Amino acid sequence: MKVLAISGSLRPDSYNTKLLRAAEELLPPEVDFVLYQGVKAVPPYDEEDDLQVVPMSVAALRSAIGEADAVLFATPEYNASIPGSLKNALDWVSRPIETNTLRNKPVAVVGASTGAFGAVWAQADLRKVLAAIGARVVEGEVAVGHAPTRFDENGRLEDESLREQLQETLDSLLTEANTRALVLA
């Protein structure tokens, strides 16, 4: 079982990337967790560029999603929605629409913000976008507000209820991935 983790924040010390790392700690040891680092290299979407050989950064992202059994997204909230860089990367992945590598892929969305609300609007928008692309979006929301105060020096989520919500979301994601494996077998 391979879970690909994609952070919507490009900042090296991102709270959303920390949230993904916290999720890694909660996954069973047999799960192969891979944090994707290449979103920043994806160029602006241009359909003309999509007709020929696509940029390597795009091919790599499509391929990484295709090879994963499930994808976990963590998004910050920029101007009440998801970061443009994340939406742009997903627009690339969504093509071709009928066979894109997110189609039927079990995905989960969590989020962190420095404000009080934990990127709930961005999470809702990201779920909508992923569903429109054809992904299998699992239930569950983890909204980590006041993110600078939520992690200990080892990156562990200190809040017990948030950790439980994250665990439940991960459990749902793995259940969907296992169900899909059975359907495809």
- Kindly list the residues in this chain that would bind other proteins in the complex (CB under 8 A): 97-98, 103-104, 131-137, 180, 183-184
Choose between 127 and 163: whose C-beta lies nearer to other proteins.
Answer: 127
- Which helix (H) or strand (E) segment is 123 a member of? helix 120-133
The minimum distance between CB 104 and other proteins, in angstroms, equals 5
In the complex, the smallest distance separating the C-beta of residue 148 from other proteins, rounded to whole angstroms, is 34
Minimum CB–partner distance for residue 85 and other proteins (Å): 23
Alpha-carbon gap, residue 27 to 171, rounded angstroms: 8
Q: What gap in Å lies between CA 98 and CA 10, rounded to an integer?
A: 29
Closest CA to 25 of 140, 130, 170: 170
Cis peptide before 76 (omega within 30 of 0): no
Closest to other proteins by CB, 13 vs 98, is 98
Smallest gap from residue 122 Cβ to other proteins (A): 18
Tokens of 63: 């391929």
CB of 130 to other proteins, least distance (A): 10
Tokens of 11: 């900042």
Question: Dihedrals φ, ψ of 19, to 5°?
Answer: -65, -40
Q: Which is nearer to other proteins, 80 or 184 (CB)?
A: 184
Residue 39 or 126: the one with the smaller Cβ distance to other proteins is: 126
Quote the tokens at residue 164. Answer: 């439980």
